[in-house]
A = this chain, B = another copy of it.
Amino acid sequence: MEYQEAKEKFISTWGSLGTLWGINKAMAQIQSLLFISTKALSMEEIMEELKISRGNTSMNLRQLMDWGIVTKELIPGERKEYFTTEKDVQELARIVAKERSRREIKPVIKVLEDVSSIKDDGTAKTKELIKQTKALKDLTDDLDTLMNKLVNQKQNWLTKSVFKLMK
């Protein structure tokens, strides 16, 4: 496999995996491209490489910046804006985990709390609803906490004691 083929394979695979970490295809592809680039890229260059429109590029770059994954880099003497992504995978994982927790998991926990705290009217179906949503709330809470803790360990968290403990 040559460079070009490998590059395309990486961008398309990582792009289609976008859903798994909660972002859309174009967004994931732009990030992938920047992730393996040796220098900051302009909007033109991104459009050209990924064959997507100016509008699409602009909108998705903006979203990536909202997530805190991509940053603008101003090159002295250049009028154009250049973009780079966070290059450290652990830091990237930290950002993604934090954002997903905030945007998706926390709101769900709130709903589960509300639902599981309705008045117990003594009927079996109410009891079941309370019991099951409570269990789900506890699990979601625990997973969210664990995820945030794991990912907040700045250095080598996965290879450290927690991970080794479980081998």
Q: 3 closest Cβ contacts across the A-B interface?
A: A142-B158, A13-B111, A89-B135
A15 to chain B, nearest CB (A): 11
Question: A118-134 CB contact bits vs B (8 Å, 1 = yes)?
Answer: 10010111101100110
Q: A3-B125, A165-B161 are in contact. Are A111 and B9 (CB under 8 A)?
A: yes
Which residues in chain A, 7-35, are within 8 Å of chain B measured between CB atoms?
7, 9-10, 13-14, 17, 19-20, 22, 35
Residue pair B133, A36 in contact (C-beta under 8 Å):
yes
Question: A38-80 CB contact bits vs B (8 Å, 1 = yes)?
Answer: 1000000000000000000000000000000000000000000
A91 to chain B, nearest CB (A): 11
